[in-house]
């Protein structure tokens, strides 16, 4: 299987027979939680609410920051969803929109409560043990922050004299040929020529003598963001941080936390 294809993670949920229980209004539930905890919350334009018990110091994180943190995640009724009491590393842009927004407000040494409304989390979908339309409450402490991924990207851009543009989620790109006005979307099947390299120049993957064909929805997130920036016939280079590629674990031939460089020609879609 080509290295660009993403393996599918299947979530198995066991359903038991039980009586229907009255549905609790999530707005009432979160209001009761806030009152019980005596929180003095700030609300952002998106509807995210937060209170920081410790402000921390230094710069705010950027898209490609890696945070070392501890946290608890729970529902408004007190049900615990997940917890990390020992430091764990997290990518900012791999989180739900609400948690990403909250983490971007936190500095090294900060500690606080972040309340993510359903529309910034999973909305009307039930995910695992999280019911539909749930508020998610995070108690987070930022122990450290590293910008080593962005440093690697900046060094590569400087060493190769690139005029790179930052797209969303920490992706950088250069289009030597933008291509036609029509652009692919997540539902497109793309025909491409490509070469994938690490920042040291080592090639880990490439198309053959004929263009490769892939459903864009099956590819790494960096391609899903980057390829729609090109039109038919477009040629460019994409600099993909690990959270949009193969993450902290990597793949055979790709180290963990590796920045990926792809030279791409979009033949058709």
| 174 domain residue, yes or no | yes
- Same domain? For 55 and 120 the reply is yes
- Same domain? For 236 and 162 the reply is yes
| 13 domain residue, yes or no | no
Buried b vs exposed e over 14-46: b needs ≥16 C-beta within 10 Å?
A: eeeeeeeeeeeebeeebeebbeeeeeeeeeeee
Closest Cα partner for 188 from 213, 216, 211, 212? 216
Considering its fold, how many domains does the chain have in total?
Answer: 2
Cβ count within 10 A of residue 214: 19
How many helices and strands in the chain, by DSSP H and E? 4, 13
Q: Give the pLDDT confidence score for residue 67 in this predicted structure.
A: 98
Question: Which among 123, 146, 169 is the end of a domain?
Answer: 146
- Same domain? For 141 and 154 the reply is no
Q: Give the pLDDT confidence score for residue 24 in this predicted structure.
A: 73
pLDDT tens per residue, range 211-254: 999 999 999 999 999 999 999 999 999 999 999 999 999 999 99
Cross-strand bridge partners of residue 88: 69
| Proportion of the chain above pLDDT 70, given as a percent | 91
Torsion angles phi and psi, residue 249, rounded to 5: -85, -30
| 100 domain residue, yes or no | yes
| 166 domain residue, yes or no | yes
pLDDT tens per residue, range 11-39: 333 334 444 444 678 899 999 999 999 99
**Across all residues in the chain, what is the average pLDDT?**
92
Judged by DSSP in three states, 96 sits in: coil
Range of the domain at 225: 149-268
Place of tokens 């080509």: 2
pTM confidence score: 0.86
Question: Which among 146, 163, 183 is the end of a domain?
Answer: 146
- Same domain? For 34 and 141 the reply is yes
- Same domain? For 135 and 37 the reply is yes
- Same domain? For 142 and 173 the reply is no
Give the CATH number for residue 83.
3.10.50.40
| 30 domain residue, yes or no | yes
| 105 domain residue, yes or no | yes
| 216 domain residue, yes or no | yes
In sequence order, the 6+-apart residues with CB closer than 8 A to the CB of 60 are: 104, 105, 106, 107
Of 1-15, 65-79, 86-100, minimum mean pLDDT range: 1-15
Res 177 pLDDT > 90? yes
Res 3 pLDDT > 70? no
User: What would the mean pLDDT of 92-120 be, rounded to a whole number?
Assistant: 98
- Same domain? For 193 and 258 the reply is yes
- Same domain? For 141 and 158 the reply is no
- Same domain? For 125 and 41 the reply is yes
């Amino acid at each position: 299987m080509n290295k660009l294809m993403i393996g599918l993670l299947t979530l198995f949920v066991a359903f038991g027979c039980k009586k229907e229980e009255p549905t609790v209004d999530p707005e009432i539930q979160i209001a009761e939680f806030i009152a019980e905890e005596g929180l003095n919350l700030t609300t952002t334009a998106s509807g995210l609410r937060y209170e920081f018990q410790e402000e921390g110091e230094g710069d705010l994180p950027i898209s490609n920051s890696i945070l070392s943190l501890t946290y608890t995640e729970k529902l408004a009724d007190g049900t615990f969803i997940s917890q990390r009491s020992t430091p764990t590393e997290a990518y900012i842009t791999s989180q739900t929109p609400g948690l990403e927004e909250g983490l971007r407000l936190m500095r090294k040494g900060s500690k606080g409560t972040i309340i993510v409304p359903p529309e910034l989390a999973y909305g009307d979908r039930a995910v695992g043990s999280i019911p539909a339309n749930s508020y998610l409450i995070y108690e987070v402490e930022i122990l450290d922050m590293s910008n080593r991924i962005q440093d690697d990207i900046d060094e590569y851009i400087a060493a190769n004299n690139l005029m790179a543009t930052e797209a969303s989620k920490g992706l950088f790109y250069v289009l030597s040929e933008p291509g036609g006005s029509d652009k692919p979307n997540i539902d497109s099947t793309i025909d491409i020529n490509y070469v994938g390299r690490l920042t040291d120049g080592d090639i880990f993957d490439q198309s053959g003598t004929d263009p490769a064909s892939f459903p864009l929805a099956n590819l790494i997130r960096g391609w899903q963001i980057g390829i729609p920036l090109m039109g038919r016939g477009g040629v460019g280079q994409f600099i993909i941080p690990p959270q949009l590629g193969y993450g902290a674990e990597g793949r055979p031939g790709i180290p963990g936390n590796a920045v990926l460089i792809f030279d791409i020609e979009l033949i058709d879609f």
